[in-house]
A and B are shown apart, each in its own frame.
Chain A
Amino acid sequence: MRLLEYESKEALASRGVPVPRGEVARTPDEAAEITRRLGGRAVLKIQIPHGQRGKAGGIKVVGSPEEARRVAAELLSRTFYGYRPESLLVEEPIEVKTEIYVGAIADRNARSMTFISTPYGGMEVEEIAAEHPESIEKRSVHPLMGMVPYMARVLAKNASMNAPDKLREIQKVVLALWDVARDYDAMMLEINPLAVTTDGRVLALDARIEVDDNALFRHKEFEKRYYAVGNPREAEARKRGIAYVELEGNVGTMANGAGLAMATMDLVHTFGGKPANFCDVGGGASADRVAEALELVVSNPNVKVVLINTLCGITSCVDVAEGVRKVHERGLLKVPVVVRMSGNRAEEGKRILSELGIKATERAVEAVKHAIELAR
């Protein structure tokens, strides 16, 4: 999950990275009060888990507490990239001399965190890589060694090309960035830009941290918001531990196993239909779990037909069928259901489904084609 800017900055500051003075405001009055404390001028930044806030008008400079109140009221009432900001970060305005980039990502190929630095900050790192490929320095950190000072120095040396007198400060920032990556289970994190100010300070002007969803059990402070983000059905699925992602189509899909669930959506697409969602009910699912997942899929108003694709090994086809029966008995099956059922106890599962008037086939492609016809 992506932390908000202020959460990211709190994490960085707690490990010794200097950040601008500022506080979080949840109301226009708070924004005005913080602006007053900062000396009457401030930058108001919406707090949403999305980048490019400035482009959408979510970052404003204000020259007085009154202006802060007015602008804050406006920002807090608008929607940006589908998010309604619940808070603003109100910060001292910074005069920037040089913008730098330092970041790190969980690198599949290196099987470790790879750190990246460049003396060009303030743009998306992909853009920097395209425009100044030669400016990028990369170093993979051995997971059991952690960031070692020489490596931080190499990265800082590269980043400080336009501010060579700041080498030591930037090296400290890189070392601290590793501490944050490790302590917050970051999949990705960046300080962009890391600014050298006209008055000679090194400050993290903007920061982003993506915490590993799998590690939330040891970061309880972020768990609550994790379950609240996104479309209500996706949020509900996350709470229940079901992998569910919504798309734009009308063929609801459900499968056991993430790979099979993706392949099922792809099959719908290949044969001319439009999948409405990805849904992996997981391995060894019980009837209740199948019912929960199916209820989610049919609660999407765009769904005209549901395609259930189960290849049962550990999972029992009987449990899948019983799950469908539960949803049927609750009166929630208002659209046709097409089932592909194969493997462990498939014959018994099919018998249960036939009692509900649902015909199941062993053949995935047959089921897919049938579902697409019904959706038309």
Chain B
Amino acid sequence: MSSIHARIPADLAATIRKETNWSLSHRLRHGAQSVLARAYPRVFGMIREPSWLFFDLVFPILGMCSFVFLLRSRGVDDAWVSATILASALLTFWTSVIWMMAGQFRWERDSGNLTLYITAPVGLGPITLGMAVGGALGMAFRAVVIITAGSLAFGATYEIREPALLALTLLLGVSAMYALGACLAAFFLISGREADHLGDLLNEPMQLLGGVFAPIRSLGLVGMVAIGVLPLAPAADALRQIAIPQLAVSGLLPVNIELLILIVMVVVFSIGSRYALRYIERVGRAGGKLLTRAD
């Protein structure tokens, strides 16, 4: 030990002080790199498991087909077939929010990753954003496949007069969904396994309230409430109005209002998730069990 001490630099404390004093640009670069690093396994990791890819695509397509066959058997206008295919694509994002965002921190905790994230100098914010970015990119591929397959199989058509508006709506809708997912991630971590069960139970009601396969307008007051709290609802309603003009009359609110609602949701859920992530870290450090794997 004495020989080690003899070689320790006299200015070690100053060196460490300098090392730990990160500039704003350093922190911004670090945050951006961390987002991309955490997104990586979501985008590329999943491609490596062909069975996951197969089932992630086949099951939603089968679900979509059953709805389309039902609509056709009832002689419903083909515009609703196009709407169903569009809704199925949107639903892949929502499923990912429930399965791969909300429940993720519990999985990360049980696998030991959460401990490493907490003790790394990155913070949970960029990690969560990376989860969302990676999830959204991974699901975008699935959504494109679903729309392509649905369009080819059922001859669905879309009349997109304002592609920029469509892209903006999709971006805002997906952002709002994943921002809500970040809040839910903290809630699910605190609530434990019960939250998973609740998520499963509420899956179908959420789709109904989200107006995925039927116009939310038909839900009346309940629909109005849903459109104010559930990102899926204004996103689905607005996308249907933009991509299928003949269904614009079935929209609950004008597209501009629904975009405004989505913007508010993105802001509120993003701020909420920031507080929620800080809260779980604070509670976890105080309680001792939330952040670390049970031995």
Same complex for A and B? Answer: no
Residues of A at the B interface (CB closer than 8 Å) are: none
